[in-house]
Each structure stands twice: as C-alpha cells, then as structure tokens.
Amino acid sequence: MANNSMLADLSKHARDAVRHYWRTRSRQLEKQRQAGGLDQGLRSAVTGGAHMDGFIELLTKLVIEAGLAREHVFCNEALELPGYFRPTKRWDFLVVVNRQLVAALEAKSQVGPSFGNNFNNRTEEAMGSALDLWTAFREQAFGSAIRPWVGYLFLLEDCAASTKPVGVKEPHFKVFPEFRDSSYANRYELFCRRLVLEKHYDNAAFLMSNPGQGLKGGYSEPAQDLTLQAFASSLVARVAAFSGRIQQL
C-alpha cells in the first residue's frame, strides 16, 4: 500500500471524479431539456445514471495498483450478488477472485430538491443491502468464510436545503436528540458513521459538493472519520492483503 501512487495523490483524482459527477449531471439535464422533458424536474439528473462513475473508475485503478488483475474488478456488468431475502442485489463495484468475494461497494448521491423522501429511501436501501449481504454471507453464499470488505460512498449536494435545520414529528415518542433540528447533511453524516459503528459496512465516506464548486473539482468532507482518503486506504489495504495471500499460494 505504501507504493500506491494514486492513493498518495488521492485528492487530485477525487477532484476529477467530482468534476465528472457534475459534468455528467449537467449533460443529462441539457439532453432532456432538448428532448422536451425534464423527467419530473431535477430528478432527470438522478435517473440518468453514470454520475458516480468517476469514483468507481478511481477505486478500480486503486485496486489494480494494489495488486489485483483488472479481470477481478467488476464495475459495469456482472454486478449481481445473491441475496438472502431476494434472489440478487446489484452492487456498484465488486472485487471477486477465484469465486471469492473480496469487496463490494455502494456509491450513491443525492441532489435537491426532495431531500426528505430521498433520505428515507437512501437509508432504507443501504441498511437493507447490508442485512441481505451479511445474511447471505452467513449462509455461505460467497464461496468461503473469508469476510469481504463492504463500503458505502455518498456524495450530497451542498445547498441551503441540505444544510438548514429540519423539524421532526413526534406524535407518540421522542426522537433521539441528535436528530432534533438537524439538517439532512447532519443526518447523512450520522447515518454513514453509524453504518460503520454498527458493522453493517467496513468503511464509509461522506462528501459534499455543489455545481458551482464541483465543476471545478471542489468538494468538502464534513467529518474526519468519513474521508475519502480513509475509505480508499481501507479498501486498498484489504485488497493488498488478499493479493499477498494469492501470491503465497
């Protein structure tokens, strides 16, 4: 891992990934405007897909530099894993070596304006995916008892709607105090942290950006325990260790 040059210069590559995100979103919006429809407004820039491909490409290069062949990395196809509560779940990034699951990753994002509904959808999706994967792992669905690395990478639009305090409804019981008058940015940060604390994911990264700064590669990392550097280092360390075991066989 010490010789991983991309990891040493990760911030530069991360800026490229952020630029790719906002450029892709902008192109998709313009394309749908020209086609005469916005797919329920700004939702068009979410349903178009490919936004997080810059991050996936970055992680792919990091894994290859850590010692694994490109044939073991899946980021465009063959992304389905068996589930326990459903037949399969499609992940955003997989590393599979000799029928052994080494790593699985979700790379998600959210832009306005519907932060409330989408927050619930994103959190339920992430928790459900983790439960499904670990239960399937318990049932030996992934080839062996070697525990895979599982990660969650999230990019949130940095805007007034995502950073202002949001009220909660408490008709019967009080919510936990950390949620009261918290913004969606605060809630996503807490969510990512607790995914790791509760061991649903091995590592999580939480980034924020907006179109103005993002098209220039700008982004922020509100929490020191949820940085992309720590996230990527964790993945690279696991892959490097696995690669070392392969070479010893």
Give per-residue pLDDT as tens, 37-92.
655 545 444 444 588 999 999 999 999 999 899 999 999 999 999 999 999 999 99
pTM of the model: 0.90
Residue pair 187/150 in contact by the 8 Å Cβ criterion: no
Domains in the chain: how many in total?
1
- Give the whole-angstrom CA distance, residue 244 versus residue 112: 44
Examine the pLDDT at 151 and tell me if it is beyond 50.
yes
Distances in Å between the Cα of 217 and the Cα atoms of 18, 49, 193, 246 are 5, 19, 25, 37
Residue type, 5: S
Question: In terms of Cα–Cα distance, which of 88, 67, 87, 62 is closest to 151?
Answer: 62
Task: Tell me what pLDDT residue 48 has.
Answer: 42
Write out pLDDT tens, residues 92-144: 999 999 889 999 999 999 998 889 889 999 999 999 999 999 999 999 999 77
3 pLDDT band, cuts 50/70/90, is: low
Residues 6+ apart with CB under 8 A from 216: 19
DSSP string across 5-55: HHHHTHHHHHHHHHHHHHHHHHHHHHHHHHTT--SSGGGHHHHT--TTHHH
The HSE-up count of residue 30 (CA atoms within 13 Å, CB side) is: 6
- The confidence score (pLDDT) of residue 132 equals 98
| pLDDT recorded at residue 47 | 42
Are the CB atoms for 183 and 132 separated by under 8 Å? no
How far, in Å, are 113, 164, 188 from residue 169 at the CA level?
20, 17, 18
pLDDT given at position 114: 84
DSSP-derived 3-state class of residue 181 = coil
Residue 101 pairs in a beta bridge with 96
Q: Give the structural domain span for 182.
A: 5-248
Nearest-angstrom CA–CA distance, 103 and 11: 22
